[in-house]
Structure formats: structure tokens, C-alpha cells
Structure 1
Amino acid sequence: MKKFKPSARQAEILSMVEQDGFVATEAMVATFDVTPQTIRRDLNELNTHGLLTRFHGGAGQSRSVQNHPYAHRRQTGVDAKRKIAEATAALIPNGASLFLNIGTTTEAVAEALLAHENLHVVTNNINVAQILSRNASFKIMIAGGEVRNHDGGITGVASTDFVRQFRMDIGVVGIGGINEDGSLLDFEYEEVRTAQMILENSRKTILVADQHKFGRRAMARMGHISDLDSLVTDAPLKKHYATLCEEADVSVHIAGRHVDEQPADKQN
């Protein structure tokens, strides 16, 4: 059987998906100046050969078991993460207690919080703790457990048990991907267990996720959009996801836009 070799355009599509996690059909139409039908044929062929996964309105990565390397994630989407972080920090008052979990977006949130005062923070992210330690008014508590040398995340039973001991005002979590059914997904089970504990022990929950996380695959289920109070992202949601958030009474904040009044906190 002849080995499949992507065309030049298909190879560029794969590169876009590898970089961004998810690429909308209309973006590919504009980039390559071809019809939507042409892009759909490319996506169908690439999907057939297992090189990507076609979703409604675009395409995402075929792999669901491994995230991008940490160094790569730190260097991509920097402006989007900064905007999301600033919008998230605006939702957090001085003197609040909060969780911050593993991820480059939550690390950006930590940077954006440095102008705050008297925060009490529990984290399982060494990088977050180091960033926040630059503000002398903060009280920072870091979970025990196994330290991942590639990204400074702390995982395992000890990390989850440590988080269980607290009841915080706000839980800020990042995510690997958001499925079309509203499932919140990530790549490592142990990391997910600690994130689930954060959601359970926060009076208010905030998910920080850029537009490329929507439709992105990962194998471990952290929860569902309905578990959130707020979602902070960098672009307007597609209608499907906007409807999911509306039905679940999740307040959506688009970074850089006016933040509307939030609904009342959900009961935990």
C-alpha cells in the first residue's frame, strides 16, 4: 500500500494545527485563499490518515495522550495569555484566598496578580509560587507531592490531599482542552485529580483558556463547563460553546472587552 504523503497545503495545515491545537475552517480558507470545500477535502483526507481530527468548524490535533512540551507552550500564545491573565486578575479582589493550578496560563495569571495586596494562595505549581513570592504581602502555601521537572507542577496523592484541607474564595484553573459536549479535559490523570479537588473546594471557580483549547482533545476528564462560575478567554465563543455556557449559567469574559456583572456564585 502506497504511503500517504500530504500535499504542500496539507502540510501547512498540519503545522497550523500543531502550533495552535485547533484551527477554524474559515481561518484556513483565508490563509490559503481557497474555497471551504477544498479545505474540507483536505481535512477529510488528513483525518482519514489519522494526522488530525476534523471537528465541526475546523480541525484539531489527533493525539490526546500528550501535551506540547512546556518550553513550547511558554513561547506560544503569549499575548493571548497576558490578556486573559489581566482580565482574570480584574475578577479577584485584594485580600482574597485562591487556588492556582498547573499551567502556563495560570502562571501568567500569577504575574498579573502581583499588583494585588494580601492574597492567600494555595498552589501545586512551583513556578506560580516563585512568581507570587515577589509580593511580600502575599501568603503562599505550596502543595507537597512529586515535582515534575519539565514544568514545575506538583502532582500525586499528597498534592490532592493538601488541596482538600482548604476552602478558598476562588479557584483558578487552566485546561488542556474543552470537548464539544462541554467536558473539561487534560493530559495527566494525577494533575486532573488535584484540579478536581480545587473545583470542589472553591466558592467560585474560574477557568482560563484561550480560543485554541476549544475542540482540543485530551484523554483525562477534569469535569464539565457546568462546574464553573466563570470562563475567561481571548476571543468570542462559537455559538455552540456560548450556548453551553449560557445553559450552565457560566459567566463568559472576553479578555480586552468590558466585563459584565457576573451571576451569583454557584453553591458547592
Structure 2
Amino acid sequence: MSQTFRLDDLMQIAREDGRIVAEDAAARLGVTVQTIRRDLLKLSEAGKLTRVHGGAVLASGTSNIGYDDRRALYTDEKAAIAAACAAEIPDNAAIFMNIGTTTEAVARALLAHRDILVVTNNLNVANTLVANPDCRIVVAGGQLRRTDGGLVGTLANTIVEQFKFDLAIIGCSAMDDDGDLLDFDIMEVGVSQTAIRRARRTFLVADHSKFSRSAPARIASLADIDTFFTDRKPSHDLASRCTAWNTRVVVAG
């Protein structure tokens, strides 16, 4: 297999799995680990991947990967996170849900809940919840982001500000080692920050891939989160911070 085809295959693996393990990729593509390491170096130098111990991950930057690509990543893990989160959401609750593929998974897990009100700036969440006749849906209007069905900006903020939520269900694009929750769009961040301020409790839903990513805009800190639902234990340092902040960590699956 030529290097050009290998590089394309490696990028596809990175998009599907969130990371590349050199030994696994070598076995999958039928080449040596040394060859894969050289390929990863080339992709890293091109700014497409970031080298990590044992392989590489998608490069962080100032823009996110495509929504459909994100939706295809870690589907089982997101479903487990969503089920664990939904199990702690009572009926008769007023809920905010922000933009993201994991919050979309939570929406699917809420289809049997009764008498809930969901305010969202995510058209995908709203369209999913249409299937629940016992869910009232309020779409926070704003500037439509066609790439992911998100509604952002001042108008969305203004609508969210009118509510007092029992729960805010928040996703993020990345998580820093110091516990900061990060995203790529400052307008989207503003809506999530407003929802957190207007909620009695806040749940974070984020899979383990967020631990190794970075993004430029800060949403909040894990210190602002009541319960963090994920699929793998965070690092010792991050887990210690959560303990100090009284942020409960639920590892699903």
C-alpha cells in the first residue's frame, strides 16, 4: 500500500476512533509499526494529527471536526453516558440541553420521560424529542449554524435567560487538565454559560476523548458542575480536583 493511501486510511481511523494506536494501525494496514510511526510523524508535521504516547489523536485547533464525523465517534460510549444521565433526570423537570452529539444521545434516552420541559439551542435535540408526546419543547431561537443545527448568539441567550431550570445538561468539545470545559464557538459558549447560571443543578456529559483535546473558548470549570457523566475514569489529578470541588463523577458502562 502506498503512503498516500495509508495516510488517508490513518485519517479515517482517527476520525472514526478519535485516536490512532500505532500497533493496532500497523496490524490493520499490514505494515510495520515503524512505518506507521513515520506516517504519523508526517501527518503531525502537516498539522492533521497530534502525536501522543503510542500513537496520535486528531489535532486540536480553533475549529471542530464535522458534526456527522463526531456523531459517528464513540456511539456505544455516548449511549451509556446518556442512559446514566437520563436515569438521574426526574419526570416533571425543566431542562436545558446544549449543542452536541452526546446531548443528542441524552435526548434519545429521555423519550420515555413524562411531563418534562426541554429548552434547547440544538435543532437535533428538538427533532429527537418530538417523538416524546410528554415533552414540551422550547427552541431557543438565534443564528442558525448549518453545520450542526445549533442556534447561537444574543437572541438564544435572551430566551434562555427567561427560564429557571431544574437541570442544565451540558456537553463540551474539550477538557483541560485544570478542569476547564472548552469549546470552539464563543457564541455557543455564551448560551451554555447562561444556562448554567439559570440552573439549580448542572450535569456534564462528555466521553473520554475530550480529555485529550483542546479548544480556545472556556465554558466553565468542573467546579461548576454537580455531576460529570463519562465513560472512563479521569486522570488522578482531575479526579482529585473533582473530589475537592464536590463534583460527582459517574463512569457509565
TM bin, normalised by shorter chain, reads 0.7 to 0.9
Shift of 1:28: 4.2
Change (3 A) 1:77 1:138: same
2:78 corresponds in structure 1 to 81
Change (3 A) 1:247 1:41: farther
Change (3 A) 1:238 1:15: farther
2:191 corresponds in structure 1 to 194
Q: Is the 8 A contact 2:18 2:73 kept in 1?
A: no
1:217 corresponds in structure 2 to 214
Amino acid at match of 1:114: L
1:241 corresponds in structure 2 to 238
Cα deviations by residue, 1:75-112 (Å, 9 ceiling, x for unpaired): 22211111111111001011111101111111111110
Q: Which shifted more, 9-18 or 79-88?
A: 9-18
Amino acid at match of 1:174: G
Shift of 1:18: 3.9
Shift of 1:60: 3.4
Shift of 1:12: 6.6
Is 1:175 matched with 2:172? yes
2:205 corresponds in structure 1 to 208
Q: Which shifted more, 36-45 or 121-130?
A: 36-45
Change (3 A) 1:37 1:243: farther
1:152 corresponds in structure 2 to 149
Structure 2 length normalisation: TM-score? 0.84
Q: Which shifted more, 39-48 or 138-147?
A: 39-48
Which of 223, 229, 236 pairs up with 1:232? 229
Shift of 1:201: 1.2
SS of residue matched to 2:95? strand
Structure 2: tracts of 5 or more residues without a match: 28-32
Structure 1: tracts of 5 or more residues without a match: 1-5, 257-268
Amino acid at match of 1:130: N
Which of 127, 134, 159 pairs up with 1:130? 127
Change (3 A) 1:180 1:12: farther
2:30 corresponds in structure 1 to none
Counterparts of 1:36-55 in structure 2 under 5 Å? 50-54=47-51
Is 1:161 matched with 2:141? no
Cα deviations by residue, 1:223-260 (Å, 9 ceiling, x for unpaired): 1111111111112223233223222221111112xxxx
In structure 1, C-alpha distance between the alignment counterparts of 2:201 and 2:34, rounded to whole Å: 44
Q: Which shifted more, 7-16 or 64-73?
A: 7-16
SS of residue matched to 1:206? strand
In structure 2, C-alpha distance between the alignment counterparts of 1:44 and 1:238, rounded to whole Å: 26
Structure 1 length normalisation: TM-score? 0.80
Change (3 A) 1:54 1:196: farther
SS of residue matched to 2:219? strand
Shift of 1:15: 4.9
In structure 2, C-alpha distance between the alignment counterparts of 1:169 and 1:57, rounded to whole Å: 43
CA RMSD after TM alignment: 3.0
Q: Which shifted more, 191-200 or 231-240?
A: 231-240
In structure 1, C-alpha distance between the alignment counterparts of 2:19 and 2:238, rounded to whole Å: 14
Is 1:95 matched with 2:97? no
In percent, how many aligned pairs have the same letter?
A: 42
Q: Is the 8 A contact 2:25 2:36 kept in 1?
A: no
In structure 2, C-alpha distance between the alignment counterparts of 1:58 and 1:171, rounded to whole Å: 36
Residue-pair matches, total: 249
